[in-house]
Structure 1
Amino acid sequence: MASSRAVPNLAFRRLRARRSPGEFAAAVRRAAREIGEQVACDARYIGRVEAGEIRCPNYAYERVFLHMFPGLTLEDLGFAPREHVRGRAPRATMTTATDRVAAVNGRNGTGSPGVTGETGENGETSEESDVLRRAFMTSGPVTVVAASLGLGGTAAAAVPTPRRTPRLVGDAEVMAVEAAVRRIRLLDDRHGADGIYRQAAQPLRAAYALLDSGTPARQSTADRLHAGAGELSISVGWLAHDSGRFDDARSHYAEALATARMANDPEVEAHAFANTSFLAKDSGRYREAVRTAQAGRRAARHLASPRLLSLLALREAAGWAKLGERTDCEQSLSRAHRLFDRGPSDADPEWMSFFGEPELESQVALCHAALGDWSRAARHAHRATALQNPHFVRNLALYRVELATDLARAGAPDEAAAAGHQVLDLLDVVQSSRIHTRLAATARVLLPQRRLPEVGAFLDRHGSTSSRA
């Protein structure tokens, strides 16, 4: 936990060597998968470890780090002994079901970084922090999401509203907001948006209640709280977007943008504009997609993150493609590639962990598809599926459905049907209206080719799946 007594962890920094925090975080995630753990490690988490803010990792991270560096102990890695960090027993009144759920998540490796099992230096957890955890960790109307949280599908009681009387806001509250963001992103990667949108709105309300009623102890705490609330609003907006609730998504993105501007936070502002551009494109407002991507580029120009600028160039390219402006689209795509090729940076925002080469290829494919270049689109979509880590099931399903659509329109029905079967294989795990809608569109394109055995089998299976949905 962040503290004025934090001492930089130089031993851990030496182990990172010449890798950037983002690259090292990726290595941590790979090591976790090797031993069956799942940790939402990112550049910000690595930075907090190196700054000494995380004095001892949770049990999932401990297992991963000891796997990465066999023969070393936590102390060798620069961490304090666990009993020194968590030696004080929490008050009996805080031994709640929420705490037990958090402990289970930590043992199962599903806890978010810097959250599971953590309490304040005095062993207490604030009311708002507990509300935020309870809101997201114990609400589970969808069985697959609840199971992933270790809840066995049990729905929680109603979440109490945070109190409105002024109070001092510290690290525990801010970390709970940041944890909710990470947990939403992790579940979205695994399952898609449909099953978690409603429950994700609960911690969002609690976060903005903190902004309304809290008095941060320090300016740095206030900045983190605003950034966390803005990112949480964007994350919930994305869930709305991906599940087809475009009006809700637009409202959440606008709220995030307002929060970012009030706090003078260009990183959150650029993120809000990037998502708003994506939404505008999906909503048929193509010139708005271009303008908001350009606004995001202006917000991000001093952030020293070529990858962020690359993503914004892709958002702009998508708008131009939908407008049929081939030259402008190609110029934006060229800029996106040049910026991407500069590689990752320590300044890359945490939320951009999804933006690797598979996502780049997928976005390029969408641009060529919008321009009617179906064969080129299929080549890029195939590359996206080949490069995508299968751990990120939602994205893999999305790339495969894009490939199926492109192949169907490029005149390769058998290959399109095969890709469609691969999407259907993932739909028991993934719940995304966007994927279902695109797969249905692919089926309609393939309908005239129904007599082909592969196509007929896909259409029959898709029809059966759709009737059960």
Structure 2
Amino acid sequence: MDTTRNTILEAWMDEHGYSANSLATAVNSALESLTGRLGRCDGRQVRDWRSGRVKWPNSATRKALEGVTGRDPLELGFVPRRRPAPTVASEQEDVDPMHRRTLVAGTISAAVAAAAPGAASARKIGMRDVERLQNKFAAVIASDHSRGGQIDIEERATRLADEALNLQNSGSATQRVRSNLYATAASFRSSAMWAAIDGRRFQDSITHMREAQTLAELSGDQAIKFRIWSHAGSLYRHLGRPADARAANDVARNLHITRRDPMFASLGLARQMAIQGVAHERGGLRRAFDQAQEAMARAGEDHRPVWLTAFYDEAELHSLALSAYLAAGEWSTAEYHAHRCLAALRPHMRRSLAIATSRLAHAQLAQGDADTAAHTAMTVPAEAATQHARVSRMLQEFGAALRATAPSSVSTRNWTEHTRAWRA
């Protein structure tokens, strides 16, 4: 058996920084976009292509490879089965015109690329450009958890989404790079969407959502699709539209990634629980929480997107349970989850700390403990109380409820003095 090494594929992999395993992963993702099913390619198969043991992969795999590399199989050094021996006459007479044009174009392109000076070549966009943008995305995520909801975070994320899209048009790139650029642009748009939700700028968040959904489809990235549809569920929940919230969250929960990674399944269940709370479906809350907790316990230490690892953990699960039980009017259970959330929160989650503390105050007041509730509410940092739209609204509602519950109490007077100092 002739096992002439495929040096063309080997050179392409070296140039673009692919190992056998990473190329297999990319091909599997491309197969999922093409067929709806995750591919089963592995590093051994890629090594077989590279060594020449497999000269012509099956048709679906060839199509996926073309999507990843931007080259047809012949340009990657693969050889069709039962290919006739090449002679000048047979190539001119037997190859169909379209195939001949592909071969000629590929040969000319390779010759031009080899001969042309680097300065004259169009700019080549690579994964380093993508990684540079992704580092900026990590900074946006950090800002969100520190002081979420601010319009400058929304505007910065929007500008960076545009930067990712402009990069698409600034030079040549493989399909893998282009897909990653679309995914990065979608990530920025989804952060702009979340900042607008958090700041209660709901009409702006709908605009960002629509743009993010389009970019996510262009990318084919399951993780960012999940984030956007899950955020859409949160948007509709904050708008008081539980039916729409459930439908959007169901789109996220039905993506293949929730079956591959229990952490995504857990987040989908946790947000379903919060939607059930808004819909006053008390009976299913405990079951949804238990399922989300069990899925989280099954999740291994896999590589996951920074937006997920930065916030979703045991504390966030209890935070969503707190939101659910508070909305459903189950005050004592809400308080239990508030304490569990606050005990588990990571130090950088300052926005989440303010939200959970405000919700805890509401749960305590609803149980008739005005003194403890007022004391809890006064521990919310002034910056969050005055500059974060969601926290400000919750504390305004808390103050109104406190005055209605105990209008002449010392706690109410102390709260009034405390909030006056914020405005000073």
Tell me the TM-score normalized by structure 1.
0.61
1:373 matched to 2:330? The reply is: yes
Q: Equivalent residues in 2 for 1:176-191 (5 A)?
A: 176-191=132-147
Equivalences for 1:291-440 in 2 at 5 Å? 291-301=247-257, 304-353=260-309, 354-425=311-382, 427=384, 431-440=387-396
Residue in structure 1 matched with residue 161 of structure 2 by the alignment:
204
Q: Residue deviations 1:66-121, cap 9 Å, x none? A: xxxxxxxxxxxxxxxxxxxxxxxxxxxxxxxxxxxxxxxxxxxxxxxxxxxxxxxx
Q: Which runs of 5+ in 2 are unaligned?
A: 1-12, 20-121
Out of 216-225 and 182-191, give the one that drifted further: 216-225
Residue identity matched to 1:391: H
Of 226-235 and 252-261, deviating more is 252-261
Q: Summarize the Cα distance change of 1:270–1:232 in structure 2 as closer, same or farther, 3 Å threshold.
A: same
Higher CA-based Rg: 2
Q: Pairwise mapping of residues 263-282 of structure 1 onto structure 2 (< 5 A)?
A: 263-282=219-238
Equivalent position amino acid for 2:333 in 1: R
Match of 1:174 in 2: 130
Aligned to 1:33: none
Question: Identity percentage over the alignment?
Answer: 24
Deviations 1:366-392 (CA, angstroms, capped at 9, x unpaired): 111111101110111122112212332
Report the alpha carbon displacement of residue 188 of structure 1 after superposing the two structures with TM.
1.5
Aligned-partner Cα distance in 1 for 2:164–2:324: 36
What count of residue pairs does the alignment treat as equivalent? 307
Query: C-alpha offsets along residues 118-141 of structure 1, whole Å, 9 cap, x if unaligned?
Result: xxxxxxxxxxxxxxxxxxxxxxxx
- TM-score with structure 2 setting the length: 0.67
Please give the per-residue CA displacement for 1:436-459, whole angstroms capped at 9, x wherever unaligned.
Answer: 111111111111324332342123
The equivalent of 2:414 in structure 1 is 457
Give the CA deviation at 1:427.
3.1
Gaps of 5+ in 1: 9-165
TM-aligned CA deviation for residue 215 of structure 1: 4.5
Q: Is contact 1:417-1:455 (8 Å) kept?
A: yes
Q: In 2, Cα distance between the equivalents of 1:447 and 1:460?
A: 13
Q: Give the Cα–Cα distance (whole angstroms) in 2 for the partners of residues 278 and 348 of structure 1.
A: 21
CA distance in 2, matches of 1:364, 1:273: 20
Structure 1 or 2: larger helix share? 2
In 2: Cα distance, 1:342 partner to 1:414 partner: 41
Counterpart CA distance in 2 for 1:435 and 1:397 is 7
Please give the alpha-carbon distance, in whole angstroms, between the structure 2 residues aligned to 1:274 and 1:201: 19
Q: What SS does structure 1 have at the residue aligned with 2:379?
A: helix
Q: 1:421 and 1:330 mapped to 2: Cα distance?
A: 30
Measure the CA separation in 2 of the matches of 1:374 and 1:197.
34
